[in-house]
């Protein structure tokens, strides 16, 4: 696997340009969507991101341990999480539940210094954040703010249907978000950062940019709205490229069953090729008989089932190549290479899952940078 850090930098620069005057928080959760947490974070900062965001505290701490000093937001943890440790590491914690505001307050009092926090309101996604308890949260934050125990630096929410920009929930969530911000302001809490937009909303809905946007997928050059075309359409380019080399090339007669369960059977004398990459490497098993690869400039489909460590290709009777030839598994759509979206279609999933689940077992080569 290669990761083009220059592509990440350039994609963020494009997002910064589109978002201005709003700032950009580059989302680097889940090992930067499988691209490598620390190197991707540095490339995003080189592209002009003002903030970094991760779901989990452990990833935020990893960034700090690696010496990344940029403003950093985290938003998903359960009781027992080391919130004090996050505060000590200058990580902004999101309170999205009543228990977490109490935990933050306890940690802040222990330290005798105000904790910098952000608050998450559920404007309709029905996932994280405060939904019916919002009035209580506003009151609690107002009291904590007045006491000097917290500095509320941001208020934010997340869309349910940002990838369908015309969906009525998009407008409804924005309206609810503005109301929630006003309710906070009326209680005397005016966070300087209001944010709502993920990649899709950053690219398609400037009215949702507010003070900060939170793109993730687009940072890595993937399109969050495949219906509008591939990422090149937005001025982005894919950073992840996955290749392998044929480990075996052999003749097979017509009627040869291929791979477990013989779901593929050769319909003529042909040449089979073995690709040493399987579901343990991140090739979705659900893409058996459907996943696309490129060999010698030709698009082929995986023959039969995806195995743990390998897949088989029917290279055709006239195949003139040999073991060692390159197989492009994932690359740039604009170059005719199989895209994460192609794989998502083959496996019945979304492009996010394809890149995020590429295995750390794949040797990773960094291109561009270093930042």
Ligand X SMILES: *Cc1c(COP(=O)(O)O)cnc(C)c1O
Question: Nearest Cα to 52, choosing from 36, 66, 68, 65?
Answer: 68
- Minimum Å distance from CB 213 to ligand X? 9
Distance (Å, whole) CA 73 – CA 86: 10
Nearest CB to ligand X, comparing residues 154 and 216: 216
Stretch of 11-19, 208-216, 240-248, 264-272 contacting ligand X, by CB under 6 A:
208-216
Residue of 18, 116, 158, 305 interacting with ligand X (CB under 6 A) = 158
Options 33, 120, 250, 260, the catalytic residue: 260
Active site (annotated) includes residue 29: yes
Q: Is 364 annotated as a binding residue?
A: no
Please state, as a whole number, how many other Cβ atoms lie within 10 Å of the Cβ of residue 297. 7
Query: Could you give the string, one character per residue 53-92, with x where binding to ligand X holds by CB under 6 A and - elsewhere?
Result: --x-------------------x-----------------
Tell me: does residue 174 bind ligand X (CB under 6 A).
no
What does residue 221 show for φ and ψ, rounded to 5 degrees? 85, 20
- Minimum Å distance from CB 87 to ligand X? 20
Nearest CB to ligand X, comparing residues 55 and 346: 55
- Minimum Å distance from CB 342 to ligand X? 19
- Give CA 57 to chain center in angstroms: 16
- Minimum Å distance from CB 96 to ligand X? 10
Distance (Å, whole) CA 355 – CA 154: 30
- Helical H runs in the chain? 5-19, 29-34, 37-46, 57-65, 83-88, 98-111, 134-147, 168-186, 199-204, 340-347, 351-356
Tell me: does residue 198 bind ligand X (CB under 6 A).
yes
Tell me: does residue 216 bind ligand X (CB under 6 A).
yes
Stretch of 214-222, 237-245, 326-334, 360-368 contacting ligand X, by CB under 6 A:
214-222
Distance (Å, whole) CA 164 – CA 201: 9
- Minimum Å distance from CB 229 to ligand X? 17
- Give CA 22 to chain center in angstroms: 20
Q: Is 127 annotated as a binding residue?
A: yes
| DSSP E strand stretches across 136-211 | 150-156, 193-197
What angle, rounded to 10 degrees, do the helices at 37-46 and 5-19 form?
50
Tell me: does residue 194 bind ligand X (CB under 6 A).
no
Sorted by sequence, the CB contacts under 8 Å of residue 355 that are 6+ apart come out as 33, 34, 35, 220, 222, 240, 330, 340
Task: Tally DSSP H helices, then E strands, for the chain.
Answer: 11, 19
Under 8 Å between Cβ of 193 and 118: yes
Stretch of 101-109, 211-219, 232-240, 297-305 contacting ligand X, by CB under 6 A:
211-219
Token pair in block for residue 321:
């190549």
Active site (annotated) includes residue 250: no
Tell me: does residue 226 bind ligand X (CB under 6 A).
no
Distance (Å, whole) CA 43 – CA 370: 8
Nearest CB to ligand X, comparing residues 224 and 304: 224
Options 29, 33, 220, 264, the catalytic residue: 29
Residues of each annotated binding site for substrate: 127, 308
Catalytic residues: 29, 260
Contact residues for ligand X, defined by CB under 6 A: 27, 29, 55, 75, 158, 198-199, 214-217, 224
């Amino acid at each position: 696997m290669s990761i083009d850090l220059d592509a990440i930098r350039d994609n963020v620069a494009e997002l910064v340009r589109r978002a201005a005057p709003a700032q950009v928080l580059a989302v680097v959760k889940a090992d930067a969507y499988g691209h490598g947490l620390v190197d991707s974070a540095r490339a995003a900062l080189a592209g002009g991101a003002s903030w970094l965001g991760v779901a989990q505290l452990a990833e935020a701490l990893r960034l700090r341990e690696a010496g990344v000093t940029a403003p950093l937001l985290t938003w998903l943890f359960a009781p027992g999480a080391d919130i004090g440790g996050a505060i000590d590491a200058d990580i902004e914690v999101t309170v999205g539940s009543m228990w977490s505001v109490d935990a933050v307050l306890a940690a802040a009092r222990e330290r005798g210094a105000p904790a910098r926090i952000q608050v998450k309101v559920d404007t309709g996604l029905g996932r994280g954040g405060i939904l019916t308890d919002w009035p209580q949260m506003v009151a609690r934050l107002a009291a904590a703010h007045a006491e000097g125990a917290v500095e509320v630096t941001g208020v934010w929410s997340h869309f349910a249907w940002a990838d369908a920009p015309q969906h009525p929930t998009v407008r409804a969530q924005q309206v609810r978000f503005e109301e929630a911000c006003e309710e906070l302001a009326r209680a005397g809490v005016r966070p300087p950062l209001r944010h709502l937009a993920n990649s899709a909303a950053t690219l398609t809905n400037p009215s949702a940019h507010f003070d900060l946007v939170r793109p993730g997928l687009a940072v890595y050059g993937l399109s969050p709205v495949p219906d509008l075309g591939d990422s090149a359409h937005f001025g982005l380019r894919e950073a992840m490229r996955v290749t392998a080399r044929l480990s075996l090339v052999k003749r097979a007669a017509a009627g040869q069953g291929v791979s477990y369960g013989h779901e593929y059977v050769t319909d003529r004398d042909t040449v089979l090729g073995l690709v040493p990459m399987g579901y343990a490497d991140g090739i979705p098993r659900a893409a058996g008989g459907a996943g696309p690869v490129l060999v010698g400039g030709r698009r082929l489909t995986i023959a039969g089932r995806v195995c743990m460590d390998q897949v088989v290709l029917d290279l055709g009777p006239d195949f003139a190549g040999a073991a060692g030839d390159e197989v492009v598994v994932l690359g740039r759509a604009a170059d005719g290479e199989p895209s994460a979206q192609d794989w998502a279609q083959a496996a019945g999933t979304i492009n996010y899952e394809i890149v995020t689940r590429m295995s750390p077992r794949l040797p990773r080569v960094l291109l561009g940078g270093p930042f």
